[in-house]
Amino acid sequence: MRVLGIETSCDDTSVALYEDEGGVAENLVSSQVDLHDVFGGVVPELASRAHLVNLLPLIDALLKRRELTLADLDGVAVTAGPGLVGALLVGLSTAKAVAMAADLPLVGVHHIEGHILANHLTAPMVLPAVVLVVSGGHTEIVHMPEVGRYERLGGTLDDAAGEAFDKTAKLLGLPYPGGPQIDRLARQGKPGRFSFPRPLQHDPRIVFSFSGLKTSVRQACDGLPRPLADQDIADVALEVQEAIVDVLVLRLFQAARRKHVQAVYLAGGVAANGRLRERTAAEAVRRGLHFLPPERVYCTDNAAMIACAGWHHLRAGRRDGLDLDSFARAPLASWR
């Protein structure tokens, strides 16, 4: 089975092919970072327009690179949500047109499921597992007994961890996107200069909160002389990263202990963070749990993860009609 994947949930236009043998055959991404950098974040209307310009040429390029036509495909998978509705509609409308024109089955994929199954692109997942989904818009922990069965164990009460990284970067005058900048500069920081809270760390629930942490970081930055010295920036970056990672790792293994799973996984853009991967790996070894981080190229939004998820749906016999709609928000639901 050969599945075309389309991902346009935010500011990256991406198309991919996933096949029975070999997994990801191709994954193309057109980034909009330069377009949104001047605004310090994603502008939804600009993102939608860029998807309109980029998507069809990307599909054409993908097929030409593989020397394929639409007739060689066995299905189309597309991100239905959550995400920016205008951006999602571009991908969804295109997927419907391709499916109808080539008489192919269509399947809509929940964006979070795509991120979770990005781990499957590296190696077959060890299940049951708990997955920490952490990005600019999401921070939650999901129990996964098998592909297609999901139980949300808990999540953030306010802001996402990725947003805390990005807001800190903005306070420090770092370019967009801020998360990778914090990760890079934290390696040059000197520990102990700043102390930031670990919100709700003693709460027995599987919950997160990062709004108070962001306030604490802003107050610390306001107390520093301007312009900020390079060492000031690195020291703040180090301690913010440690505070966020401490809470993320604590909750992930709290969930693993409660569910008696065999493995833990990371998913989403923040899964590329070096310190988070390092701490998760060390704790997994200590507890005797399997952990293999997703390849960094599959942590951010990409169509390979959507094509992979769609492949699982289609193999299980699940299909969507041409009345499939996009959605800005919705929890990840089991479909198996």
Check residue 22 and give its pLDDT.
Answer: 74
CB-based contacts of 33-42 (< 8 A; 24+ apart in sequence): 33/176, 33/177, 35/11, 36/11, 36/176, 37/175, 37/176, 40/170, 40/176, 41/166, 41/176, 42/10, 42/11, 42/84
> What local confidence, expressed as pLDDT, does residue 176 receive?
81
Q: How many C-beta atoms lie closer than 10 Å to residue 297's C-beta?
A: 14
Domain assignment of residue 73, yes or no: yes
Average pLDDT of 190-194?
A: 95
pLDDT at 136 over 90: no
Helices first, then strands: H and E counts in the chain: 10, 9
Report pLDDT for 43.
Answer: 85
- pLDDT confidence bin for 38, thresholds 50/70/90: low
Q: Using pLDDT thresholds of 50, 70 and 90, give the confidence band for residue 11.
A: confident
By 3-state DSSP, what share of the chain in percent is helix, strand and coil, each rounded to 5? Answer: 45, 20, 35
pLDDT tens sequence across 205-235 = 999 999 999 999 999 999 999 999 999 999 9
Q: Are residues 217 and 258 in the same domain?
A: yes
Are residues 210 and 251 located together in one domain of the fold? Answer: yes
Give yes or no: residues 99 and 182 share one domain.
no
Q: Is there a domain that residue 335 lies in? A: no
Nearest to 154 by CA among 223, 84, 221, 206: 206
Closest CA to 303 of 105, 103, 30: 30
Counting residues of the chain whose pLDDT is more than 70, the rounded percentage is 99
List Cα–Cα distances, 185 to 181, 201, 229, 234, 243, in angstroms. 6, 25, 12, 5, 15
Examine the domain organization and report whether 210 and 252 are in the same domain: yes
Q: What is the pLDDT of residues 41-100, one digit of tens each?
A: 788 889 899 999 999 999 999 999 999 999 999 999 999 999 999 999 999 999 999 999
**Environment class of residue 177 by beta-carbon count within 10 Å: exposed (0-12), middle (13-18) or buried (19+)?**
buried
Asked if the structure places residue 333 within a domain, the reply is no
Q: Are residues 77 and 155 in the same domain?
A: no
- Whether residues 52 and 182 fall in one domain: no
Lowest average pLDDT, out of 45-49, 59-63, 273-277, 331-335, goes to 45-49
Residues 285 and 303 in one domain: no
Question: What is the number of domains present in the chain?
Answer: 2
**Inside any domain, residue 323:** no
